[in-house]
Every structure is written in C-alpha cells, then in structure tokens.
C-alpha cells in the first residue's frame, strides 16, 4: 500500500484501516505511520470499530462530544422537509404524466431549499434581487 499512497496528492488526508487484528495479533487502535492515520481493528469481533467511527466523524468535522450527534437549526430542518417534498413531487412528475417543465421546476425548488442550508441562496438574497431593480425615494 505505500506505493499506492505515494501516487496520491500530498495534502490528501489518508486513513489506513487494517482489519483482522484478532488474527494477526496486532495492537488494536489508532497510530500514525508516515504522517497518515493507521487504525487496526477486527470487524469480526467489533473491536476497534468505534475508534474508526470516531476518527471518521472527527475527520469530517462532526463534534463527537455533541449530544445526539447532530444539531440543526429549525430552518434547516424545514428546508430539508421542503426539498424532500419537492423531490417527491418531481418523482411523481417523472413517473406519471412526465411534464418536463413541472419536473424541472420541482428540481429547481428542491435545489433552492438545499441552497438555503449551504448558504448559497437565502430568501434575503431573493428580496435583495427583487428590490435592487426598484428606485425607492422620497
């Protein structure tokens, strides 16, 4: 595996996982080899799997100390629900009458809802765009 890793981009975070530690007798857990995380575990016994899970959560930016594992704002949950509803309606358009323009609109609305979560688009942005074309004076 060192040859494979050598071909990867230098700044790419790498985690090497070695299974069957129960057979090889290797020490379970996480260590560092050549600047990369190395996790030894046994999938058969389940030992070391929590170490891998916690490492992956930490690597992806999840706070492993958060109660419940994930906190979301109410508006994020509402945006997700609305996006899911638009995707379901789009699926119905695709499988049913297949009105292309209605399918496209449902997908656009779902994308807009998801963009509110990622910060790419908000309702304030929409209002800003609308009112930027008006001249309001005394």
Domain spans in the chain, listed from the N-terminal domain onward: 2-59, 74-131
Q: For residue 14, which phi and psi values (nearest 5 degrees)?
A: -125, 135
What pLDDT sits at residue 135?
57
- pLDDT tens per residue across span 2-29: 788 888 787 788 889 999 999 999 999 9
Angle between helices 74-95 and 100-118 (to 10 degrees): 160
What pLDDT sits at residue 103?
82
Residues 96/52, Cβ–Cβ less than 8 Å = no
What pLDDT sits at residue 107?
87
Residues 32/38, Cβ–Cβ less than 8 Å = yes
What pLDDT sits at residue 32?
92
Q: Is the pLDDT of residue 119 over 80?
A: no
On average, the pLDDT of the chain sits at 79
């Amino acid at each position: 595996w060192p040859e494979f890793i050598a071909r990867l981009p230098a700044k790419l975070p790498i985690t090497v996982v070695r299974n069957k530690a129960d057979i090889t007798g290797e020490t379970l857990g996480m260590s560092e080899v050549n600047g990369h995380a190395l996790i030894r575990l046994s999938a058969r016994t389940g030992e070391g799997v929590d170490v891998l899970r916690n490492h992956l959560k930490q690597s992806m930016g999840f706070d492993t100390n958060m109660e419940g594992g994930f906190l979301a704002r109410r508006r994020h949950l509402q945006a997700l629900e609305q996006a899911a509803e638009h995707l379901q309606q789009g699926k119905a358009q695709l499988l049913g009458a297949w009105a292309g323009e209605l399918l496209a609109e449902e997908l656009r609305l779902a994308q807009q809802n998801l963009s509110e979560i990622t910060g790419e688009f908000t309702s304030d942005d929409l209002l800003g765009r609308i009112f930027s074309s008006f001249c309001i004076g005394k």
